[in-house]
Structure 1
Amino acid sequence: MSLRPDLGIIADHVTAGARVLDIGCGDGELMAALRDGKRCDARGLEIDAGNVAAAVARGLSVVQGDADRDLADYPDESFDYAILSQTLQTARAPDVVLDHLLRIGRRAFVSFPNFAHWRVRLSLLWGGRMPVTKLLPERWYDTPNIHHVTVDDFRAFVRERGVKVEGAWFLSRGRQTTAAGANAFAEHAVFLLSRTD
Protein backbone atom coordinates (compact mmCIF):
# COMPACT_ATOMS: atom_id res chain seq x y z
CA MET A 1 0.00 0.00 0.00
CA SER A 2 1.40 3.40 -0.96
CA LEU A 3 1.42 6.34 1.42
CA ARG A 4 -0.59 9.52 0.94
CA PRO A 5 1.67 11.85 -1.13
CA ASP A 6 2.62 14.21 1.72
CA LEU A 7 3.40 11.24 3.97
CA GLY A 8 5.53 9.73 1.21
CA ILE A 9 7.64 12.88 1.07
CA ILE A 10 8.08 12.82 4.84
CA ALA A 11 8.98 9.11 4.86
CA ASP A 12 11.54 9.66 2.10
CA HIS A 13 13.30 12.38 4.10
CA VAL A 14 13.36 10.87 7.60
CA THR A 15 16.77 9.43 8.45
CA ALA A 16 16.89 5.65 8.98
CA GLY A 17 16.90 4.67 12.65
CA ALA A 18 15.54 8.05 13.79
CA ARG A 19 13.38 8.62 16.85
CA VAL A 20 10.05 9.98 15.56
CA LEU A 21 6.92 11.40 17.19
CA ASP A 22 3.93 11.52 14.82
CA ILE A 23 1.35 13.94 16.23
CA GLY A 24 -2.12 13.36 14.84
CA CYS A 25 -0.87 10.02 13.51
CA GLY A 26 -4.27 8.70 12.45
CA ASP A 27 -4.22 4.93 12.12
CA GLY A 28 -0.41 4.86 12.12
CA GLU A 29 0.15 4.49 8.38
CA LEU A 30 3.28 6.69 8.34
CA MET A 31 4.62 5.23 11.59
CA ALA A 32 4.32 1.68 10.24
CA ALA A 33 6.17 2.69 7.05
CA LEU A 34 8.97 4.31 9.07
CA ARG A 35 9.21 1.34 11.43
CA ASP A 36 9.20 -1.28 8.68
CA GLY A 37 11.10 0.58 5.97
CA LYS A 38 13.60 2.64 7.95
CA ARG A 39 13.83 0.89 11.35
CA CYS A 40 12.69 4.08 13.08
CA ASP A 41 11.57 4.19 16.70
CA ALA A 42 8.18 5.71 15.88
CA ARG A 43 5.72 6.89 18.55
CA GLY A 44 2.34 8.51 18.04
CA LEU A 45 -0.16 10.87 19.61
CA GLU A 46 -3.72 10.71 18.27
CA ILE A 47 -6.98 12.28 19.48
CA ASP A 48 -9.40 9.77 17.90
CA ALA A 49 -9.88 6.57 19.95
CA GLY A 50 -10.72 4.48 16.87
CA ASN A 51 -7.49 5.52 15.15
CA VAL A 52 -5.52 4.82 18.33
CA ALA A 53 -6.96 1.28 18.42
CA ALA A 54 -6.14 0.73 14.73
CA ALA A 55 -2.54 1.91 15.24
CA VAL A 56 -2.06 -0.23 18.34
CA ALA A 57 -3.45 -3.22 16.40
CA ARG A 58 -0.56 -2.64 13.94
CA GLY A 59 1.84 -3.07 16.86
CA LEU A 60 2.57 0.65 17.12
CA SER A 61 3.19 2.71 20.24
CA VAL A 62 0.38 5.27 20.16
CA VAL A 63 -1.32 7.13 23.00
CA GLN A 64 -4.57 9.02 22.90
CA GLY A 65 -4.04 12.73 23.38
CA ASP A 66 -4.59 16.23 22.09
CA ALA A 67 -1.74 18.23 20.52
CA ASP A 68 -3.13 21.45 21.97
CA ARG A 69 -2.87 20.08 25.53
CA ASP A 70 -0.47 17.18 25.71
CA LEU A 71 2.68 18.24 23.85
CA ALA A 72 3.77 20.32 26.85
CA ASP A 73 4.40 17.04 28.72
CA TYR A 74 7.12 15.84 26.32
CA PRO A 75 10.75 16.60 27.25
CA ASP A 76 12.96 18.86 25.12
CA GLU A 77 14.73 17.20 22.18
CA SER A 78 13.30 13.78 22.98
CA PHE A 79 12.91 12.98 19.26
CA ASP A 80 14.90 13.48 16.08
CA TYR A 81 11.70 14.40 14.22
CA ALA A 82 8.30 15.66 15.34
CA ILE A 83 5.74 15.24 12.56
CA LEU A 84 2.45 17.10 12.19
CA SER A 85 0.75 16.02 8.96
CA GLN A 86 -2.57 17.58 7.96
CA THR A 87 -3.17 18.62 11.58
CA LEU A 88 -1.84 22.18 11.97
CA GLN A 89 -5.04 23.73 10.62
CA THR A 90 -7.11 21.81 13.19
CA ALA A 91 -5.14 22.99 16.23
CA ARG A 92 -6.68 25.64 18.48
CA ALA A 93 -3.26 27.26 18.97
CA PRO A 94 -1.08 26.37 15.96
CA ASP A 95 1.67 28.77 17.05
CA VAL A 96 2.01 27.00 20.41
CA VAL A 97 1.88 23.57 18.74
CA LEU A 98 4.68 24.60 16.36
CA ASP A 99 6.78 25.85 19.31
CA HIS A 100 6.35 22.46 20.97
CA LEU A 101 7.25 20.58 17.77
CA LEU A 102 10.54 22.45 17.55
CA ARG A 103 11.20 21.95 21.26
CA ILE A 104 10.41 18.22 21.27
CA GLY A 105 12.11 17.35 17.99
CA ARG A 106 15.44 18.43 16.58
CA ARG A 107 13.52 18.85 13.32
CA ALA A 108 9.83 19.09 12.50
CA PHE A 109 7.80 18.14 9.46
CA VAL A 110 4.58 20.08 8.95
CA SER A 111 2.14 19.40 6.11
CA PHE A 112 -1.16 21.15 5.49
CA PRO A 113 -3.78 21.82 2.81
CA ASN A 114 -3.29 25.16 1.04
CA PHE A 115 -6.46 27.19 1.37
CA ALA A 116 -5.21 29.68 -1.28
CA HIS A 117 -5.23 27.07 -4.07
CA TRP A 118 -6.87 28.46 -7.20
CA ARG A 119 -9.81 26.03 -7.04
CA VAL A 120 -10.64 27.22 -3.52
CA ARG A 121 -10.37 30.85 -4.64
CA LEU A 122 -12.55 30.20 -7.68
CA SER A 123 -15.19 28.44 -5.60
CA LEU A 124 -15.41 31.43 -3.28
CA LEU A 125 -15.35 33.94 -6.13
CA TRP A 126 -17.99 32.32 -8.35
CA GLY A 127 -20.06 30.35 -5.90
CA GLY A 128 -19.68 32.62 -2.90
CA ARG A 129 -19.55 29.60 -0.60
CA MET A 130 -16.85 27.69 1.22
CA PRO A 131 -15.62 24.99 -1.15
CA VAL A 132 -16.21 21.27 -0.73
CA THR A 133 -13.60 19.36 -2.72
CA LYS A 134 -11.97 15.95 -2.79
CA LEU A 135 -9.15 17.26 -0.61
CA LEU A 136 -11.40 19.43 1.61
CA PRO A 137 -14.51 17.24 1.76
CA GLU A 138 -16.22 18.68 4.83
CA ARG A 139 -18.79 21.47 4.79
CA TRP A 140 -18.03 24.71 6.64
CA TYR A 141 -19.99 23.65 9.72
CA ASP A 142 -18.58 20.13 10.17
CA THR A 143 -14.95 20.65 9.18
CA PRO A 144 -12.14 20.03 11.68
CA ASN A 145 -10.22 22.85 9.95
CA ILE A 146 -10.40 25.92 12.14
CA HIS A 147 -7.41 27.87 10.75
CA HIS A 148 -7.33 28.34 7.00
CA VAL A 149 -3.60 28.57 6.34
CA THR A 150 -2.00 29.27 2.98
CA VAL A 151 1.52 28.57 1.74
CA ASP A 152 2.40 32.28 1.95
CA ASP A 153 0.84 32.56 5.43
CA PHE A 154 3.01 29.70 6.64
CA ARG A 155 6.16 31.06 5.00
CA ALA A 156 5.61 34.42 6.73
CA PHE A 157 4.77 32.70 10.02
CA VAL A 158 8.02 30.72 10.20
CA ARG A 159 10.08 33.69 8.96
CA GLU A 160 8.62 35.96 11.68
CA ARG A 161 9.41 33.33 14.32
CA GLY A 162 12.99 32.83 13.11
CA VAL A 163 12.39 29.20 12.19
CA LYS A 164 14.72 27.67 9.62
CA VAL A 165 13.12 26.00 6.58
CA GLU A 166 15.38 23.08 5.63
CA GLY A 167 13.09 21.84 2.89
CA ALA A 168 9.74 22.55 1.26
CA TRP A 169 7.68 20.41 -1.12
CA PHE A 170 4.46 21.33 -2.87
CA LEU A 171 1.83 18.97 -4.24
CA SER A 172 -0.87 19.32 -6.84
CA ARG A 173 -3.09 16.33 -7.61
CA GLY A 174 -0.76 14.19 -5.52
CA ARG A 175 2.35 15.04 -7.54
CA GLN A 176 5.20 17.39 -6.71
CA THR A 177 5.11 20.82 -8.30
CA THR A 178 7.48 23.76 -8.21
CA ALA A 179 7.77 26.34 -5.45
CA ALA A 180 7.08 29.10 -7.99
CA GLY A 181 3.44 30.06 -7.64
CA ALA A 182 2.89 27.45 -4.91
CA ASN A 183 0.51 29.73 -3.03
CA ALA A 184 -1.93 29.60 -5.95
CA PHE A 185 -1.15 26.24 -7.53
CA ALA A 186 -0.22 23.80 -4.74
CA GLU A 187 -3.03 21.90 -3.05
CA HIS A 188 -0.77 20.71 -0.20
CA ALA A 189 2.53 21.81 1.29
CA VAL A 190 5.17 19.96 3.30
CA PHE A 191 7.84 21.84 5.25
CA LEU A 192 10.89 20.52 7.10
CA LEU A 193 11.76 22.94 9.89
CA SER A 194 14.41 23.40 12.56
CA ARG A 195 15.36 25.96 15.18
CA THR A 196 17.91 28.57 14.20
CA ASP A 197 19.55 28.77 17.66
Structure 2
Amino acid sequence: MTLRPDLAIIADAVPAGARILDIGCGDGTLMAALRDDKRVDARGLEIDAANVTTAIARGLSVVQGDANRDLSGYPADGFDYAILSQTLQTTERPDRVVDELLRIAPRAFVSFPNFAHWRVRLSLLWNGRMPVTRLLPVAWYATPNIHHVTVRDFRELVRAKGIKVDAVWYLNRDRTTGDAAASWRAEHAIFLISRG
Protein backbone atom coordinates (compact mmCIF):
# COMPACT_ATOMS: atom_id res chain seq x y z
CA MET A 1 0.00 0.00 0.00
CA THR A 2 1.37 3.40 -0.97
CA LEU A 3 1.19 6.04 1.74
CA ARG A 4 0.92 9.79 1.32
CA PRO A 5 4.44 11.26 1.78
CA ASP A 6 3.74 12.68 5.26
CA LEU A 7 2.21 9.39 6.38
CA ALA A 8 5.21 7.46 4.99
CA ILE A 9 7.55 9.60 7.12
CA ILE A 10 5.45 8.94 10.22
CA ALA A 11 5.23 5.21 9.44
CA ASP A 12 9.02 5.01 9.11
CA ALA A 13 9.53 6.79 12.45
CA VAL A 14 7.06 4.77 14.57
CA PRO A 15 8.86 1.83 16.21
CA ALA A 16 7.62 -1.73 15.83
CA GLY A 17 5.16 -2.84 18.49
CA ALA A 18 4.23 0.70 19.59
CA ARG A 19 0.76 1.62 20.83
CA ILE A 20 -0.63 4.52 18.78
CA LEU A 21 -3.76 6.64 18.61
CA ASP A 22 -4.33 8.13 15.15
CA ILE A 23 -6.61 11.15 15.54
CA GLY A 24 -8.31 12.10 12.30
CA CYS A 25 -7.27 8.74 10.90
CA GLY A 26 -9.38 8.99 7.74
CA ASP A 27 -9.98 5.58 6.20
CA GLY A 28 -7.22 4.00 8.33
CA THR A 29 -4.55 3.80 5.64
CA LEU A 30 -1.70 4.67 8.05
CA MET A 31 -3.07 2.44 10.80
CA ALA A 32 -3.31 -0.54 8.43
CA ALA A 33 0.27 -0.02 7.23
CA LEU A 34 1.57 0.21 10.81
CA ARG A 35 -0.40 -2.86 11.85
CA ASP A 36 0.73 -4.93 8.87
CA ASP A 37 4.36 -3.79 8.62
CA LYS A 38 5.31 -3.11 12.25
CA ARG A 39 2.79 -5.01 14.41
CA VAL A 40 1.69 -1.71 15.93
CA ASP A 41 -1.34 -1.68 18.24
CA ALA A 42 -3.22 1.03 16.33
CA ARG A 43 -6.44 2.75 17.43
CA GLY A 44 -8.19 5.55 15.59
CA LEU A 45 -10.57 8.45 16.09
CA GLU A 46 -12.32 9.81 12.99
CA ILE A 47 -15.16 12.31 12.57
CA ASP A 48 -16.40 11.13 9.14
CA ALA A 49 -18.78 8.14 9.38
CA ALA A 50 -17.92 6.80 5.90
CA ASN A 51 -14.21 6.76 6.77
CA VAL A 52 -14.96 4.98 10.05
CA THR A 53 -16.91 2.31 8.16
CA THR A 54 -14.04 1.83 5.69
CA ALA A 55 -11.47 1.56 8.49
CA ILE A 56 -13.57 -0.96 10.42
CA ALA A 57 -13.99 -3.01 7.24
CA ARG A 58 -10.18 -3.19 7.14
CA GLY A 59 -10.28 -4.79 10.58
CA LEU A 60 -9.13 -1.65 12.38
CA SER A 61 -10.20 -0.36 15.78
CA VAL A 62 -11.67 3.04 14.92
CA VAL A 63 -14.40 5.00 16.65
CA GLN A 64 -16.33 7.96 15.37
CA GLY A 65 -15.51 11.08 17.32
CA ASP A 66 -14.38 14.68 17.28
CA ALA A 67 -10.87 15.70 18.32
CA ASN A 68 -12.30 18.94 19.68
CA ARG A 69 -14.39 17.13 22.30
CA ASP A 70 -13.51 13.46 22.59
CA LEU A 71 -9.79 13.32 23.38
CA SER A 72 -10.48 13.95 27.06
CA GLY A 73 -12.08 10.49 27.23
CA TYR A 74 -8.74 8.77 26.57
CA PRO A 75 -6.56 7.88 29.56
CA ALA A 76 -3.31 9.68 30.30
CA ASP A 77 -0.33 7.78 28.89
CA GLY A 78 -2.65 5.27 27.25
CA PHE A 79 -0.48 5.21 24.12
CA ASP A 80 3.18 5.50 23.14
CA TYR A 81 2.43 7.92 20.29
CA ALA A 82 -0.45 10.15 19.27
CA ILE A 83 -0.71 11.04 15.59
CA LEU A 84 -2.48 14.10 14.23
CA SER A 85 -1.87 14.30 10.48
CA GLN A 86 -3.36 17.17 8.45
CA THR A 87 -5.95 17.73 11.16
CA LEU A 88 -4.49 20.43 13.45
CA GLN A 89 -5.65 23.29 11.22
CA THR A 90 -9.23 21.96 11.29
CA THR A 91 -9.56 21.93 15.08
CA GLU A 92 -11.28 24.65 17.07
CA ARG A 93 -8.43 25.13 19.56
CA PRO A 94 -5.19 23.64 18.21
CA ASP A 95 -3.33 24.64 21.39
CA ARG A 96 -5.66 22.52 23.53
CA VAL A 97 -5.54 19.62 21.09
CA VAL A 98 -1.72 19.61 21.31
CA ASP A 99 -2.02 19.51 25.13
CA GLU A 100 -4.36 16.51 24.84
CA LEU A 101 -2.00 14.70 22.46
CA LEU A 102 0.82 14.92 24.97
CA ARG A 103 -1.45 13.91 27.84
CA ILE A 104 -2.55 10.78 25.95
CA ALA A 105 1.00 9.88 24.88
CA PRO A 106 4.49 11.10 25.78
CA ARG A 107 5.26 11.72 22.08
CA ALA A 108 3.14 12.96 19.20
CA PHE A 109 3.42 13.43 15.47
CA VAL A 110 1.73 16.59 14.20
CA SER A 111 1.64 17.40 10.49
CA PHE A 112 0.01 20.31 8.74
CA PRO A 113 0.06 22.31 5.50
CA ASN A 114 2.27 25.38 5.80
CA PHE A 115 0.09 28.38 5.01
CA ALA A 116 3.20 30.55 4.64
CA HIS A 117 4.50 28.62 1.63
CA TRP A 118 5.67 30.96 -1.12
CA ARG A 119 2.85 29.95 -3.51
CA VAL A 120 0.26 30.85 -0.88
CA ARG A 121 2.01 34.17 -0.22
CA LEU A 122 2.27 34.94 -3.92
CA SER A 123 -1.38 34.14 -4.54
CA LEU A 124 -2.41 36.51 -1.75
CA LEU A 125 -0.08 39.21 -3.04
CA TRP A 126 -1.05 39.01 -6.72
CA ASN A 127 -4.67 37.99 -6.53
CA GLY A 128 -5.69 39.30 -3.12
CA ARG A 129 -7.56 36.05 -2.54
CA MET A 130 -7.08 32.90 -0.49
CA PRO A 131 -5.28 30.48 -2.79
CA VAL A 132 -6.39 27.17 -4.18
CA THR A 133 -3.32 24.93 -4.47
CA ARG A 134 -2.48 21.25 -4.79
CA LEU A 135 -2.42 20.89 -1.00
CA LEU A 136 -5.25 23.36 -0.38
CA PRO A 137 -7.55 22.29 -3.22
CA VAL A 138 -10.83 23.97 -2.25
CA ALA A 139 -12.08 27.53 -2.03
CA TRP A 140 -11.86 29.34 1.30
CA TYR A 141 -15.58 28.96 2.00
CA ALA A 142 -15.57 25.17 1.51
CA THR A 143 -12.34 24.30 3.31
CA PRO A 144 -12.28 22.48 6.64
CA ASN A 145 -9.20 24.56 7.52
CA ILE A 146 -10.15 27.12 10.13
CA HIS A 147 -6.67 27.99 11.44
CA HIS A 148 -4.01 28.94 8.94
CA VAL A 149 -0.95 27.62 10.75
CA THR A 150 2.61 28.19 9.56
CA VAL A 151 5.89 26.52 10.47
CA ARG A 152 6.85 29.55 12.57
CA ASP A 153 3.44 29.64 14.28
CA PHE A 154 3.74 26.00 15.32
CA ARG A 155 7.32 26.43 16.51
CA GLU A 156 6.21 29.39 18.64
CA LEU A 157 3.28 27.41 20.08
CA VAL A 158 5.46 24.51 21.21
CA ARG A 159 8.15 26.88 22.53
CA ALA A 160 5.57 28.81 24.59
CA LYS A 161 4.23 25.54 26.01
CA GLY A 162 7.67 24.16 26.85
CA ILE A 163 7.19 21.27 24.43
CA LYS A 164 10.28 19.59 23.04
CA VAL A 165 10.70 19.16 19.27
CA ASP A 166 12.40 15.79 18.74
CA ALA A 167 12.40 15.82 14.93
CA VAL A 168 11.02 17.83 12.01
CA TRP A 169 10.53 16.91 8.38
CA TYR A 170 9.57 19.38 5.68
CA LEU A 171 7.99 18.43 2.37
CA ASN A 172 8.06 20.39 -0.86
CA ARG A 173 6.43 18.75 -3.86
CA ASP A 174 6.19 15.53 -1.79
CA ARG A 175 9.97 15.41 -1.27
CA THR A 176 11.81 16.17 1.92
CA THR A 177 13.58 19.51 2.01
CA GLY A 178 15.99 21.08 4.47
CA ASP A 179 15.38 23.43 7.36
CA ALA A 180 16.83 26.43 5.51
CA ALA A 181 13.99 28.84 4.71
CA ALA A 182 11.42 26.13 5.50
CA SER A 183 9.01 28.80 6.69
CA TRP A 184 8.38 29.78 3.07
CA ARG A 185 9.74 26.80 1.10
CA ALA A 186 7.94 23.90 2.80
CA GLU A 187 4.44 23.04 1.62
CA HIS A 188 3.96 20.66 4.52
CA ALA A 189 5.60 20.11 7.92
CA ILE A 190 5.75 17.04 10.17
CA PHE A 191 6.82 17.54 13.79
CA LEU A 192 7.60 14.85 16.33
CA ILE A 193 7.07 16.49 19.71
CA SER A 194 7.34 15.33 23.31
CA ARG A 195 6.77 16.62 26.79
CA GLY A 196 9.42 19.15 27.75
Same-fold call, TM > 0.5? yes
Equivalent residue for 1:116?
116
User: Match for 1:117: what amino acid?
Assistant: H
Equivalent residue for 2:103?
103
User: Match for 1:161: what amino acid?
Assistant: K
Q: After superposition, what is the alpha-carbon deviation per residue over 1:22-48, rounded to whole angstroms, capped at 9, x for unaligned?
A: 000000000000000000000000000
CA distance in 1, matches of 2:129, 2:15: 43
User: Match for 1:163: what amino acid?
Assistant: I
Equivalent residue for 2:154?
154
Equivalent residue for 1:75?
75
CA distance in 1, matches of 2:47, 2:114: 23
2:165 counterpart of 1:165: yes
CA distance in 1, matches of 2:57, 2:100: 28
Structure 2 residue runs without a partner (length 5+): none
Equivalent residue for 1:65?
65
Q: After superposition, what is the alpha-carbon deviation per residue over 1:45-72, rounded to whole angstroms, capped at 9, x for unaligned?
A: 0000000001001000000000000000
CA distance in 2, matches of 1:9, 1:61: 22
Equivalent residue for 1:44?
44
Secondary structure, aligned partner of 1:132: coil
Equivalent residue for 1:176?
176
Equivalent residue for 1:186?
186
What RMSD in Å do the two structures reach over aligned CA positions?
A: 0.5
Equivalent residue for 1:53?
53
Equivalent residue for 1:141?
141
CA distance in 1, matches of 2:170, 2:135: 14
Equivalent residue for 1:15?
15
Secondary structure, aligned partner of 1:154: helix
Secondary structure, aligned partner of 1:169: strand
Secondary structure, aligned partner of 2:80: strand
TM-score normalized with structure 1 length:
0.99
Structure 1 residue runs without a partner (length 5+): none
Secondary structure, aligned partner of 1:11: helix
Cα distance, 1:106 vs structure 2: 1.5
User: Match for 2:93: what amino acid?
Assistant: A
Cα distance, 1:138 vs structure 2: 1.1
Secondary structure, aligned partner of 2:110: strand
Equivalent residue for 2:94?
94
TM-score normalized with structure 2 length:
0.99
Cα distance, 1:156 vs structure 2: 0.8
Q: After superposition, what is the alpha-carbon deviation per residue over 1:89-146, rounded to whole angstroms, capped at 9, x for unaligned?
A: 0000111110000000120000000000000000000011100011101101010000
Equivalent residue for 1:2?
2
User: Match for 1:54: what amino acid?
Assistant: T
User: Match for 2:170: what amino acid?
Assistant: F
CA distance in 1, matches of 2:15, 2:167: 14
CA distance in 1, matches of 2:147, 2:111: 14
CA distance in 2, matches of 1:179, 1:23: 26
Secondary structure, aligned partner of 1:79: coil
